[in-house]
Amino acid sequence: MHKRLLILWFTVAVLRPPERLSGQFTDPHTYDNNPVGVNELELGYGYAHSNTSIDTSLVVSGAKLNLNLGTLDYTRYFGFLHRLAWVEAIVPLAGLDGAITGTNIQGSTTGAGDSSYEVAILLVGGPALTVKQFANYKPTTTVGVSLAVTTPTGQYDPNKLLNLGSDRWSFRPEIGVSHPFGPEQKWQFDAYANLYFYTDNTSYHGLENLRQQASPGFDSDDRANGAPARDRGVRWDNPAVDGHREHASAGAAVSRSGRRLRRRRAHAGAV
């Protein structure tokens, strides 16, 4: 059964033809089993600089942008129908500044980005175990599903180019597989498939309507336990403004970067 699932994952990833590709990331260990009754509170920080754009969907020729991003991330693990489940909330705080070379155009903004919330459960290989029971747990293949929702709580001004929010909702259902293998199961392979759905931003640039088709994504990585993961992620995007393909605001990058700053889930270090 588990081998068939892994073969299907590779087949879907290889046969899906791309329209427009961009990076896609899901944290390694996301669908590992963890003990129930555990709370995680994480603080993260990241910095990004670009000569064209912080967001790959926002291309500004001659622009120089700097993004400082901090995140507050809370996760609660619990048992549901004898399976491991969890809920997570992420609030990003960011500072974004930039200028366009050869012009007098420059600006900056500081505030909250779009917050995101996730609920997930392991359907296969994830029994709900207490911390004491988990001490004797041996990793096995797990299959999990999740639903993440990003809310338009970030700072947004339709008359400005630099925004920390995207002024729209997004929904991401996902299914993931985690498979330990090798001598003493020191290696692990993770694979994920998800689909992003977006509501319209009806005040894009003040007058336009930003619409974006649902975009599928596939992500996989393999690594020895404790070693950096070799990530292979891809997403197909197709944003449009009033029926024409267009570029989204930088708020989407703040939201995505907030999710990427999450610490790779491990069994140690939880509080």
Q: What is the pLDDT of residues 194-241, one digit of tens each?
A: 999 999 888 776 677 778 888 898 887 766 665 555 555 454 544 444
| Phi, psi torsion values for 8, nearest 5 degrees | -60, -40
Q: Is 211 strand, coil or helix?
A: strand
* 5-19, 53-67, 92-106, 189-203: range with lowest mean pLDDT: 5-19
Q: How far apart are CA 125 and CA 102, in angstroms?
A: 58
H helical segments located in the chain = 2-15, 131-134, 251-260
DSSP conformation class of 226: T
pLDDT of residue 52: 59
CA torsion angle 96 170 80 217 (round to 10): -90
**104 inside domain:** no
pLDDT of residue 125: 93
* 81-85, 118-122, 170-174, 244-248: range with lowest mean pLDDT: 244-248
Mean pLDDT value across residues 169-193: 90
Above 60 in pLDDT, residue 267?
A: no
For the chain, report the end-to-end CA distance as a whole number of angstroms. 35
Number of domain units in the chain = 1
DSSP conformation class of 133: H
251 versus 81: the higher-pLDDT residue is 81
Above 60 in pLDDT, residue 22?
A: no
pTM: 0.74
* 41-55, 117-131, 184-198, 223-237: range with lowest mean pLDDT: 223-237
**54 inside domain:** no
pLDDT of residue 223: 62
**243 inside domain:** yes
**33 inside domain:** yes
**217 inside domain:** yes
Residues above pLDDT 90, as percent of the chain: 40
**63 inside domain:** no
Above 60 in pLDDT, residue 15?
A: no
pLDDT of residue 18: 40
pLDDT of residue 2: 46
Range of the domain at 185: 2-37+77-88+114-260
For residue 138, which of 268, 1, 263, 32 has the smallest C-alpha distance?
Answer: 32
**43 inside domain:** no
What is the average pLDDT score of the chain? 76
pLDDT of residue 163: 82
* Residue 19 pLDDT class (50, 70, 90 cuts): very low
**59 inside domain:** no
How many other CB atoms sit within 10 Å of the CB of residue 203? 16
Mean pLDDT value across residues 180-186: 84
pLDDT of residue 266: 40
For residue 208, which of 255, 248, 238 has the smallest C-alpha distance?
Answer: 248
Residues 60-99: pLDDT tens digits? 677 788 889 999 999 999 999 999 999 999 999 999 888 8
pLDDT of residue 124: 95
176 versus 4: the higher-pLDDT residue is 176
* Residue 244 pLDDT class (50, 70, 90 cuts): very low
